[in-house]
Amino acid sequence: MAALSLLNWRRVLSFSGPVPRSRHGHRAVAIRELMIIFGGGNEGIADELHVYNTATNQWFLPAVRGDIPPGCAAHGFVCDGTRILVFGGMVEYGRYNNELYELQASRWLWKKLKPRPPSTGSPPCPRLGHSFTFHGNKCYLFGGLANESEDSNNNVPRYLNDFYELELRPGSGVVGWNIPATKGPLPSPRESHTSVVYCRKDSGKPKLYIFGGMCGCRLGDFWELDIESMSWSRPEPEGISPLPRSLHTANVIGNKMYVLGGWIPQALASMESSAHDNEWKCTGSFSYLNLDTMEWISLSPESQDDKKNSMPRPRAGHCAVAIGTRLYIWSGRDGYRKAWNSQVCCKDLWYLDTEKPPAPSQVQLVRATTHAFHVKWEEVPTVEGYLLQLSLDLPSPTLPAAQTPVASEKPSPSSQENVTPVALLSAKQLQSLQESGVLTQNMHVNVFLPPGIRLDLQGQTNSNAVHTVQVPASTNSLIQNTTETQPSDMKVITAEKQSDMGGFSESNAVFHSPSVFHLKTLDPKISTNLGELHDLNPQTVIPEASASCTVHSTQAMSTVTKTDSQWYDVGIFQDNNTVVTQFYLLPEERHNLSNKEENTDIPDNSLLMKQDLMPGSVYRFRVAAINGCGVGPFSKVSEFKTCIPGFPGAPSAVKIIKNLDSIRLSWEPPSSPSGIILEYSVYLAIRTTQLPEENPNQLTFMKIYCGLRTFCTVSTAQLASAYVDCTSKPAVVFRISAKNEKGYGPATQVRWLQDSNKNRKEGKHTE
């Protein structure tokens, strides 16, 4: 059971724009991040349409046009995509209507609709307090309160339990009313009840649920309609049911129906014995019903005197909408007993995050430089920020207990076999370890290269350093015999650089199969820079490919052991994009906390040291969203590499334009070309025999353009072989990279969004 202390209601205190006057009997729906409010009453019926942007905390009055409906209260108000339907309600005291209006919110255009009457029976009579619930292509109308008198000043109430379907046309317009034949007993007549639709997990069938209402007294019964079979039933949920009530709200988030506030009988609230419901009071109680397990859970009690400032005060006739997993409530009327006649409308806006936010999409690279990444990810609705982390996979030294150091210049075959690979390092990270003295004498470093990768050996060293490269015996004529212990089918190239030479004599060696760059350091201050990697196959390339290596040691006191990936906080950001130049170095006591997949504590990095990003280094990124419930799960991991000095930056400002039988890609040159751009290459992610779920981050690319122009055309035939990446929104993936005299720089990745019908949409580059 959720505890009251776990609820983290937050009142919105900072907002802008024209705030609507407080009211009750109004209705609200949500379209993406917008809360749209219409109608209600407080010293007259309100006829304005008000919109609150939950992302910007801004109220505004849209300029509506068309057949603008009169103001109304206690009306039906539902949303289908970007169109809103309004039915019935009270237009003035004692006078109700049964008119139907449609609002196209994309244009703020009102239109009065004239639905066809049912084939049998009469159309719905004028009413208020009914439920009007949308599902599929239909709206379901149940109950309400009608006035039997033709004189609006002489109100003769009649409670209704009639049931109608309203069939909609796709996009705009209606077909007409229908009176479906239902099975089982109907719920009793009522008004000011709630109705929701939910598809249960066990059956997958849509069910309509009705709770509470008013029929001379407050009701607390719960009803279910199977929409497919049109069968009514009355489930008996477990747990403690909320008190009978009316003018409450009910919203479905996930598999839970959240019930808040309303009018409850004074006698039941105070546990008095009374046969009459002639006095009632507002409540602020908050419960939910798990619609899969059919169990009520109470989240806050009826009495909340000690919680006045931490949660909404009691109210009825308010509005509530769900945006993502966040519940918003606004206004409503306060007051305790009808006899007191002291009802006051609330002016406050509150929200509650009902669960942690979902994981964002993978971090995407906009562009990379030598010391920074511009990254982005898809926005998660109704979150307060994002926690971005990176990982370097740096090794951490350990000191084995009760072992004697062993000094040996050359490890024996048995000792080499027993050494465990400990860390994957980029070439630049390897250089940093050498410069800092972490790599000492008698260590062996293996750099593993993917098939078809060329290794450019560049850097500074001295005559005391010996670099050996293992390659198949048939690959290169420079192979020499050696006394080093190697596999029987391998030979060794010894590349020894003289102090007056500008590079290795075997630089630009080409390895066409899995290879090992074996580096034995005899000088702890050696500086070795492994250059950029390039794919040799013109048909398949991963421009972000990078070298990796493992570090071994024959000195027990200097053994380097591999630890789980350590994640470092980059920071907390309100927007879904940022430029990363540094990260925080975490103290040891924070390591376990930071590595959790779900971290409920929002980190405070104000006192931590920062570390700059290094050129030519590989970093892995993940991001998690933050809301009032804490930090949610992290995204899938993305990996990017900073640029190496001298190589060009990534192209930018990518645009995709769809033509009849092709698409046109265009881009801007790198902001830091580091010389003359010799050519651009464009690659398309293509389908392979490997199942994407085996490793969705390993995409296979085909080169589709190479030249000096900053645009290219992709034919329909080429697009037919494209792989549609579904790690976030379905998209075709392109990569574009530039080449100067030193080689290719990092690629800009482009995701061209696809619709559900596989039709091509306008491309969106990761900015």
Interacting residues of 228 by C-beta distance below 8 A, sequence separation 6+: 205, 206
Q: What is the pLDDT of residues 543-590, one digit of tens each?
A: 333 333 323 322 222 223 334 578 999 999 999 999 999 999 876 534
Q: What is the pLDDT of residues 398-438, one digit of tens each?
A: 333 333 222 233 333 333 333 323 233 444 444 554 554 44
What pLDDT is attached to residue 456? 37
Q: 268, 276, 207: which is closest to 241 by C-alpha? A: 268
Q: What is the DSSP letter of 74?
A: S
Sign of CA dihedral 219, 3, 308, 249: negative
User: Could you tell me if 269 and 243 are in contact, meaning their C-beta atoms sit under 8 angstroms apart?
Assistant: yes
Question: Can you state the percent helix, strand and coil of the chain, rounding each to 5?
Answer: 5, 45, 50
Length of the chain: 767
Q: 505, 493, 492: which is closest to 458 by C-alpha? A: 505
Collapsing DSSP states into helix, strand and coil, what is residue 356?
A: coil
Q: What is the residue-averaged pLDDT of the chain?
A: 75
User: Could you tell me if 357 and 325 are in contact, meaning their C-beta atoms sit under 8 angstroms apart?
Assistant: yes
What pLDDT is attached to residue 478? 23
Number of CB atoms found within 10 A of residue 635's CB: 25
Q: Check whether 14 has a pLDDT greater than 80.
A: yes
Tokens of 240: 């403690």
Report the predicted TM-score, pTM, of the whole model to 2 decimal places.
0.68
Collapsing DSSP states into helix, strand and coil, what is residue 17?
A: coil
Pairing of strands 731-740, 679-686: antiparallel
Instruction: Name the amino acid, one letter, at 330.
Output: W
Strand partners, 447: 517, 549
DSSP string for residues in 727-738: SSS-EEEEEEEE
User: Could you tell me if 536 and 454 are in contact, meaning their C-beta atoms sit under 8 angstroms apart?
Assistant: yes
Q: What is the DSSP letter of 709?
A: S
Q: Check whether 708 has a pLDDT greater than 90.
A: yes
Collapsing DSSP states into helix, strand and coil, what is residue 247?
A: coil
Q: Check whether 134 has a pLDDT greater than 90.
A: yes
Q: How far, in whole angstroms, is CA 292 from its chain's centroid?
A: 25
Q: 178, 165, 174: which is closest to 225 by C-alpha? A: 165
Strand partners, 102: 85, 111
Q: What is the pLDDT of residues 673-686, one digit of tens each?
A: 989 999 999 999 99
Q: How far apart are CA 286 and CA 710, in angstroms?
A: 59
Strand partners, 210: 195, 223
Tokens of 569: 């906080």
- The H or E element spanning position 141 is strand 138-147
Q: What are phi and psi of 65, to 5 degrees?
A: -150, 175
Collapsing DSSP states into helix, strand and coil, what is residue 292?
A: coil
Tokens of 167: 């069939």
Collapsing DSSP states into helix, strand and coil, what is residue 591?
A: helix
Q: How far apart are CA 212 and CA 223, in angstroms?
A: 9
pLDDT grade for 318, boundaries at 50, 70 and 90: very high
Collapsing DSSP states into helix, strand and coil, what is residue 520?
A: strand
Q: What is the DSSP letter of 509?
A: -
For the chain, what is the radius of gyration of the CA atoms?
A: 34
Q: How far apart are CA 556 and CA 402, in angstroms?
A: 10
Question: Which residue has tokens 């430029």?
Answer: 579
User: Could you tell me if 424 and 561 are in contact, meaning their C-beta atoms sit under 8 angstroms apart?
Assistant: no
Q: What is the pLDDT of residues 709-750, one digit of tens each?
A: 999 999 999 999 999 988 767 889 999 999 999 999 888 888
What pLDDT is attached to residue 275? 43
- The H or E element spanning position 195 is strand 194-199
Q: How far apart are CA 139 and CA 145, in angstroms?
A: 18
DSSP string for residues in 645-696: TTS----EEEEEEE-SSEEEEEEEPPS--SS---EEEEEEEE--SS-GGG-T
For 164, 251, 294, the CA distances from 222, given in Å and listed in that order, are: 19, 15, 11
pLDDT grade for 270, boundaries at 50, 70 and 90: low
What pLDDT is attached to residue 727? 72
What pLDDT is attached to residue 7? 83
Collapsing DSSP states into helix, strand and coil, what is residue 717?
A: helix
Q: What is the pLDDT of residues 86-117, one digit of tens each?
A: 999 999 988 999 999 999 999 999 999 999 99
Tokens of 20: 């609507």
Q: Check whether 533 has a pLDDT greater than 80.
A: no
Q: How far apart are CA 766 and CA 367, in angstroms?
A: 9
Q: Check whether 302 has a pLDDT greater than 70.
A: no
Most distant pair of Cα atoms in the chain: their distance = 111
**All domains of the chain in start order, with CATH:** 364-394+566-588+603-641 (2.60.40.10), 655-753 (2.60.40.10)
Collapsing DSSP states into helix, strand and coil, what is residue 752?
A: strand
User: Could you tell me if 193 and 130 are in contact, meaning their C-beta atoms sit under 8 angstroms apart?
Assistant: no
Q: How far apart are CA 577 and CA 377, in angstroms?
A: 6
Burial of 349 (0-12, 13-18, 19+ CB in 10 A): buried
Of the two residues 50 and 446, the one the predictor is more confident about is 50
User: Could you tell me if 515 and 446 are in contact, meaning their C-beta atoms sit under 8 angstroms apart?
Assistant: no
Q: How far, in whole angstroms, is CA 717 from its chain's centroid?
A: 33
